[in-house]
């Protein structure tokens, strides 16, 4: 019987090893900490009918939607970000949406992928820069204490629209010690493919967040004295925008169950 995989194994593995463990069904958990030093990605799969405008939306809004790769129409291999990989099988959990509503979770997209139609977008995610923050001495309590989570919020900051795709920016908030905010800005600014520098620091009202308890996901647990709320553009934005556009069909990863790419944090191979 195959030995059970531990999360600590995942960190030591290459991106390809993590993807293979997922593809073979040996790992179904989140990819947090997997293939350390490699960019992880949000997945959005759309029909070619909507893919062109969504592509435009991503380049117009690079902070929430940093493009790591876009597959050819009908081809499930992200040849740039991970040659040999397959976006239908290499994520540990997927979500299916129809007409803007969540329908169900599935373990792969083999039954629903259309070879003449579907396009996979891999968009950078902030899991990638959290490692860099921690290794530069900036504590992220939710990485150690699973009872703490990142909080994700809707803002009033408009995205640049493209066709059907329009809406407001979604952000993730991290509580950063006051004396480390500047350093956090500097470090994350180095990783534009993982959302880059914050979009806002401090007063949440200024970006339309009137109640810090009113999250899209995550439970707000008060800021400690000596901590500042720092807000980064979030990869939930494109999903949120695609849902409110009422796209007939969209497949995505499940939160935390990301695509692990071969790309280094600076986007190089």
Contact footprint for its own copies (CB under 8 A): 48, 51-53, 55-56, 59-60, 67, 70, 72-73, 80, 119, 160, 162-163
CB of 119 to its own copies, least distance (A): 8
Q: 159 vs 209, which CB is nearer to its own copies? A: 159
The sign of the torsion formed by the CA atoms of 263, 237, 53, 60 equals negative
Cβ closest to its own copies, residue 52 vs residue 220: 52
Asked if 137 contacts 199 with a C-beta cutoff of 8 angstroms, the reply is no
| Three-state helix/strand/coil letters over the chain | CCCCCCHHHHHHCCHHHHHHHHHCCCCCCCCCCCCCCEEEEEEEEEEHHHHHHHHHHHHHCCCCCCEEEECCCCCCCCCCCCCCCCCCCCCCCEEEEECCEEEEEECCCCCCCCCCCEEEEEEECCHHHHHHHHHCCCCCHHHHCCCCCCEEEEEEEECCCECCECCEEEEEEEEEEHHHHHHHHHHHHCCHHHCCCCCEECCHHHHCCCCCCCCCECCCCCCCCCEEEEEEECCHHHHHHHHHCCCCEEEEECCCCCEEEEEECCCCC
Nearer to its own copies, 65 or 236 (CB): 65
CB of 52 to its own copies, least distance (A): 6
CA 149 to chain centre: 15
- Rounded least distance, CB 56 to its own copies, Å: 5
Closer residue to its own copies (CB): 60 or 102: 60
Minimum gap (Å) between residue 60 Cβ and its own copies: 6
Find the angle CA(37)-CA(269)-CA(139) to the nearest 5 degrees: 20
Residue 203 CB, shortest distance to its own copies, in Å, is 24
Q: Which is nearer to its own copies, 22 or 263 (CB)?
A: 263
Tokens, residue 93: 């959990």
- State which residue, 69 or 131, has the beta carbon closest to its own copies: 69
Residue closer to its own copies by CB (options 151, 263) is: 263
CB-wise, 81 or 209, nearer to its own copies? 81
Least distance (Å) between residue 67 CB and its own copies? 6
The distance of closest approach from Cβ of residue 161 to its own copies in the complex, given in angstroms and rounded to an integer, is 8
Closest separation between CB of residue 123 and its own copies, Å?
12
């Amino acid at each position: 019987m195959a030995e059970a995989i531990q999360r600590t194994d995942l960190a030591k593995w290459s991106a390809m090893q993590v993807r293979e463990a997922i593809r073979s069904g040996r790992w179904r958990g989140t990819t947090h900490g997997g293939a350390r030093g490699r960019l992880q990605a949000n997945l959005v799969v759309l029909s070619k009918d909507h893919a062109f405008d969504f592509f435009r939306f991503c380049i117009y809004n690079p902070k929430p939607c940093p493009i790591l790769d876009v597959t050819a129409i009908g081809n499930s291999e992200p040849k740039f970000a991970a040659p040999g990989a397959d976006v239908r099988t290499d994520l540990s959990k997927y979500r299916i949406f129809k007409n803007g509503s969540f329908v169900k979770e599935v373990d792969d997209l083999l039954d629903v992928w259309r070879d003449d139609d579907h396009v996979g977008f891999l968009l950078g995610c902030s899991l990638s820069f959290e490692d860099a923050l921690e290794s530069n001495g900036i504590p992220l309590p939710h990485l150690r204490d699973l009872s703490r989570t990142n909080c994700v919020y809707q803002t009033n900051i408009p995205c640049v629209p493209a066709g059907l795709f329009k809406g407001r920016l979604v952000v993730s908030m991290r509580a950063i010690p006051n004396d480390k905010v500047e350093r956090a800005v500097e470090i994350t600014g180095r990783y534009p493919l993982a959302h880059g520098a914050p979009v806002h620091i401090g007063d949440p009202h200024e970006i339309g967040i009137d109640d810090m308890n009113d999250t899209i996901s995550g439970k707000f647990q008060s800021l400690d004295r000596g901590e500042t709320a720092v807000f980064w553009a979030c990869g939930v934005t494109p999903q949120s925008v695609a849902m409110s556009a009422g796209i007939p069909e969209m497949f995505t990863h499940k939160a935390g169950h990301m695509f692990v790419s071969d790309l280094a944090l600076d986007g190089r191979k």
